[in-house]
Amino acid sequence: MLAAPPAGGPGVLRRHAVALGFLVPAAVVLSLWIVYPTIYTIVSSFYGKDGFSYGKGFGHGFVGIDNYKSIFTTSILVTAIKNSAIWILVAPATVTAIGLVFAVLTERIRWAVAFKSIVFMPMAISLFATGVIWHVMYIKDPSQGAVNAGIGAVKSWFTTPGALSSASPSTPALTGSADKGYVLHKTVAAGGIAELGLTAIPPTDVPASAKQAATPQPKPGAIDGVVWRDFKPGGGTPGKVEQGELGLPGVVVELFDPSGKKVQSATTGADGSFEFSGVKGAGYKTGIGAATFAKPFAGVSWLGSRLITPSIIIAYIWVWAGFAMVVIGAGLAAISREVLEAARTDGATEWQVFRRITVPMLAPVLSVVFITMLINVLKVFDIVVSIAPGSTQSDASVIAVQMWRQSFGGVNDFGLGSAIAVFLFILVVPVLLLNVRRFRREV
Amino acid sequence: MKKNKVAILAIVGVLLLAVTAYASAKSTKSSTASASKIAIVGVWSGDEQKSFEAVLKGFMTKNPSISVSYKSTGDNTPTVLSTAVAGGNPPDLASVSQPGLVNDFQKKGALKNIDYARSALNANYPPDISKIGVIKGHVYGLLIKGANKSTVWYNVAAFKNAGVKAPTTWPQFLKAAKTLKASGTDAYSIGGADGWTLTDLFENIYLRQAGPAKYDALSHHTIKWTDASVKKALSSMALVIGDTGNIAGGTAGALQTDFPTSVTNVFTSTPKAAQVIEGDFVPGVVASSNKLKPVSGYNVFPFPAIGNTQNYVEGGGDELMAFRDTPAIRALVKYLATGAAQTIWAKRGGYTAPAKTVPASAYPDAITRTTASAVGKAKAFKFDLSDLQPASFGGTVGQGEYKIFQDFLKNPKNVNGIAASLESAAAKAYKSGK
């Protein structure tokens, strides 16, 4: 580009000075903030917990490749590497696919701009804030977590929780379980009394109409009994109807004959009493059905150790799908309509047009999105830290999170932290090379 | 063209050299602090910062020639200090919540001992507390703000509803939990998403069951985590965390409950649980999220005694350490160890004085009087054990003690397995020193 300058002339110096003037600021910035830290980190990765220190010289704290060995032998780091692999396999492809579908679909719907704006909106939120939002949405308790509240609402169309969902028997005289209902172990004969004591009932679950519990008088030819909240402040004596203990009205009590067949059912009154009349003989059992104890929906453990990584990936896709859609949408707008029209005229179905023409023509754009996501996913950090509760931080961990945890985020081992950083850098390099090559091709 | 490239490369190289040379020159340069100016950095921010500055003001009125400045570095204090020490320019004094940092900096030779404060310590501090910052016979850390982690906070209405009184012994405590369950309120709210709530529970049990001597031995890892005393304490702990039906949200719920939520679970009008076992910082959370009033709405009792262990306190706090030694710094450190200085802070609230010479009447309310004066009159005061461990074992989210105790919460029957995991993680951390 330069004509051969006359050697030693003043023009050369000036030209060099101008070129240098332009280069120096960039060179300074680059060396201060990129080159120097990179070299320092690489050197530190071969040192112990304090990293490399100028004051102490090269010999102090040198550990060779121990830090790199730890990366592959420490269980929490191995988990992080595995999780990062899952992220790489799942997230970029899913984001690109969803972006493609959205982009193609928005071309055909009427409210395209509104739809695009909504899908793109999560991009305006910082990833950390996104994490906090999704953490709250994923909370297990359906009264707090939106996702479980939704599932609970759907479930409640099919099942309703029982009136005494938290109750349990006050004595071992009642056997069974909340899923099968409780049955009084002892058989009752006609003219007998059945006392079904329940406990662990919050005061708010006791109906307002409840009165002092009372054991009814035995009647010939009938089985009488009481269902009551076998608790008074201080505990009381379990299994005994005492002053201050309330009957439980509205409970359906079932009567089983000696063969185990259900023969009658009765509902308790305000003092918890019930009566089965017209009973003959002995060997009857009384019990309360499972419906009374049916538990309300407890919520899915989205933040538990098993689902935490998929949960975070979903949140991540929610954020990035909009970006993918916009970029792919731009690529789509640039595709020549004539080719598509020609294919349709030739009788191709919409699926064939999509599969054989749109996607191949979009390939360069798709690869941009995919590679961008790949790099993004490798360094994913804030969303993991903010969604996973402390108890599943280790299950959700990825390489970038461990880079921070082992250095600044608790352990204060700067040697190991540097080694993880270098490892991450090595992972990113192939993707970067791919990107650089693509840029070159495009130029 | 080629010449240009060479020139540019040369310039970049020179720049790089200059940068590294500058950096290395800087680290060897020694900084000199003026004798009459003292710079402190520390963890206290907000109200705590204002209160500490009020204490400093008390010093400066007495010593008008010395000016003391305090800068809050909050949670970043360890990083800030590490960087400052590595750069050869530490502050004069620093307050930290991690006693491990005091050890670290002492080992690096960055600290000056504060043996000159010994007489002030002996006069003002209970023996156990004055020993806290002692390393190899010299005082390097001065506990300046105490914390009482041997407290259980309860919902007064829930206790009344169950007819339960604040228990004082371990059997009473377990019995009360059963009664609470029968009354329809779960007894425990556990913030298991934060591993430290679990280590605190273990440490409280261990201190009382195994005694202070074993506690010290375990904190220095001179006995193993597979020791019979550890297993016994784990089994006792399992009586609480294994009582799944009696924990708000059950085991899975507890694992996802962070500490603030574990507090709000207890102190609402329809509580999910009756009590939460945590330190004297609980009221701060109650105040920020609930309308319950102290004493009538929520109250506190000391962690129940196991055997003859009344007034045993497991606690923590912030230590002051000195990076320089000047007459002015000596005067300030001695002043901060006195009851008079700490009374200034105590009166402003939100503070537990380690000095026994701070009168209970200095505290602004009944609850602080209970929790704070327990520290000054503690029969045994032991620093939070997990805080004394190497950070990779005792202080990092998702690994070490935090993670293993969360696994214990998940499966409270696995006492032997948990003890073995703790031992192998501790051994690894002690071996590498991190």
CB contact under 8 Å between A55 and B11, yes or no, is: no
* Average pLDDT score, chain A: 90
The segment with the largest mean pLDDT, out of A356-360, B70-74, B412-416, is B412-416
Q: How confident is the model at residue B2 (pLDDT cuts 50, 70, 90)?
A: very low
Residue B92 has pLDDT above 90, yes or no: yes
User: A234: nearest CA in chain B?
Assistant: B163
Please tell me the predicted confidence (pLDDT) of residue B28.
Answer: 39
Residue B15 has pLDDT above 90, yes or no: no
- Nearest-Cα distance to chain A for B206, in Å, is 23
Please tell me the predicted confidence (pLDDT) of residue A13.
Answer: 81
Q: How confident is the model at residue A1 (pLDDT cuts 50, 70, 90)?
A: very low
CA distances from A37 to A65, B25, B283 (A): 20, 17, 45
Long-range CB pairs of A313-318 (<8 Å, 24+ gap) are A313/A86, A313/A87, A313/A90, A313/A91, A313/A94, A315/A130, A315/A131, A315/A134, A315/A383, A315/A387, A316/A91, A316/A95, A316/A377, A316/A380, A316/A383, A317/A91, A317/A94, A317/A95, A317/A98, A318/A122, A318/A130, A318/A134
Mean pLDDT of A77-106: 95
User: A27: nearest CA in chain B?
Assistant: B12
Please tell me the predicted confidence (pLDDT) of residue B5.
Answer: 53
Please tell me the predicted confidence (pLDDT) of residue B362.
Answer: 93
Please tell me the predicted confidence (pLDDT) of residue B30.
Answer: 38
CA A207 to chain centre: 37
Domain boundaries, chain B: 37-147+316-382, 151-313+385-432
For A314-337, how does the pLDDT look when each residue is reduced to its tens digit (9 = 90+)?
Answer: 999 999 999 999 999 999 988 888
pTM of the model: 0.86
CB contact under 8 Å between B162 and A166, yes or no, is: no
For A398-408, how does the pLDDT look when each residue is reduced to its tens digit (9 = 90+)?
Answer: 999 999 999 88
Q: Which chain B residues are closer than 8 Å to A11 by Cβ?
A: none
CB contact under 8 Å between B192 and A49, yes or no, is: no
Q: How confident is the model at residue A427 (pLDDT cuts 50, 70, 90)?
A: very high
CB contact under 8 Å between A141 and B249, yes or no, is: yes
Please tell me the predicted confidence (pLDDT) of residue B23.
Answer: 46
Comparing A114 with A441, which gets the higher pLDDT? A114
3-state SS of chain B is: CHHHHHHHHHHHHHHHHHHHHHHHHHHHCCCCCCCCEEEEEECCCHHHHHHHHHHHHHHHHHCCCCEEEEEECHHHHHHHHHHHHHCCCCCCEEEECCHHHHHHHHHHCCCECCHHHHHHHHHHCCHHHHCCCEECCEECCEEEEEEECCEEEEEHHHHHHHCCCCCCEHHHHHHHHHHHHHCCCEEECCCCCCHHHHHHHHHHHHHHHHHHHHHHHHHCCCCCCCCHHHHHHHHHHHHHHCCHHHECCHHHHHHCCCHHHHHHHHCCCCCCEEEEECCCCHHHHHHHHCCCCECCCEEEEECCECCCCCCEEEEEEEEEEECCCCHHHHHHHHHHCCHHHHHHHHHHCCCECCCCCCCHHHCCCHHHHHHHHHHHCCCEEEECCHHHCCHHHHCCCCCHHHHHHHHHHHCCCCHHHHHHHHHHHHHHHHHHCC
Closest Cβ–Cβ partner in A23, A200, A301 for B182: A200
Q: Which chain B residues are closer than 8 Å to A202 by Cβ?
A: 184-185, 270
Q: How confident is the model at residue A201 (pLDDT cuts 50, 70, 90)?
A: very high
Residue B174 has pLDDT above 90, yes or no: yes
A24 touches chain B (CB under 8 A): yes
Judge if B37-147+316-382 and B151-313+385-432 fold alike in CATH terms.
Answer: yes
Residue A410 has pLDDT above 50, yes or no: yes
- Nearest-Cα distance to chain B for A327, in Å, is 37
Looking at residue A285, what DSSP letter applies? Answer: E
For chain A, positions 215-244, list CB contacts with chain B under 8 A.
230-235, 238
Residue B88 has pLDDT above 80, yes or no: yes
For A97-131, how does the pLDDT look when each residue is reduced to its tens digit (9 = 90+)?
Answer: 999 999 988 888 888 889 889 999 998 999 999 99
- Nearest-Cα distance to chain A for B343, in Å, is 33
Domain B151-313+385-432 has CATH 3.50.50.60: no
Nearest-10 Cα torsion for B105, B108, B109, B112: 0
For chain A, positions 273-302, list CB contacts with chain B under 8 A.
298, 301
Domain B37-147+316-382 has CATH 3.20.20.70: no
Helix axes A66-73 and A414-442, enclosed angle (nearest 10)? 90
Domains and CATH numbers, chain A: 66-151+302-397 (1.10.3720.10), 168-293 (no CATH)
Residue B18 has pLDDT above 80, yes or no: no
Mean pLDDT of B119-127: 93
A352 touches chain B (CB under 8 A): no
Residues of chain A with pLDDT > 90, as a percent, come to 63
CB contact under 8 Å between B255 and A389, yes or no, is: yes
CB atoms within 10 A of CB B74: 13
Q: How confident is the model at residue A7 (pLDDT cuts 50, 70, 90)?
A: low
Please tell me the predicted confidence (pLDDT) of residue B27.
Answer: 41
User: B20: nearest CA in chain A?
Assistant: A36
Euclidean distance between CA atoms B88 and B184, whole angstroms = 60
Tokens of B418: 């948990």
User: B28: nearest CA in chain A?
Assistant: A55
Mean pLDDT of A153-165: 87
Please tell me the predicted confidence (pLDDT) of residue A26.
Answer: 93
Residue B19 has pLDDT above 50, yes or no: no
For A236-267, how does the pLDDT look when each residue is reduced to its tens digit (9 = 90+)?
Answer: 888 899 998 999 999 999 999 999 899 999 99
A412 touches chain B (CB under 8 A): yes
Query: Cβ distance B367 to B300 under 8 Å?
Result: yes
Q: How confident is the model at residue A91 (pLDDT cuts 50, 70, 90)?
A: very high
For B31-73, how does the pLDDT look when each residue is reduced to its tens digit (9 = 90+)?
Answer: 344 458 999 999 999 989 999 999 999 999 999 999 999 999 9
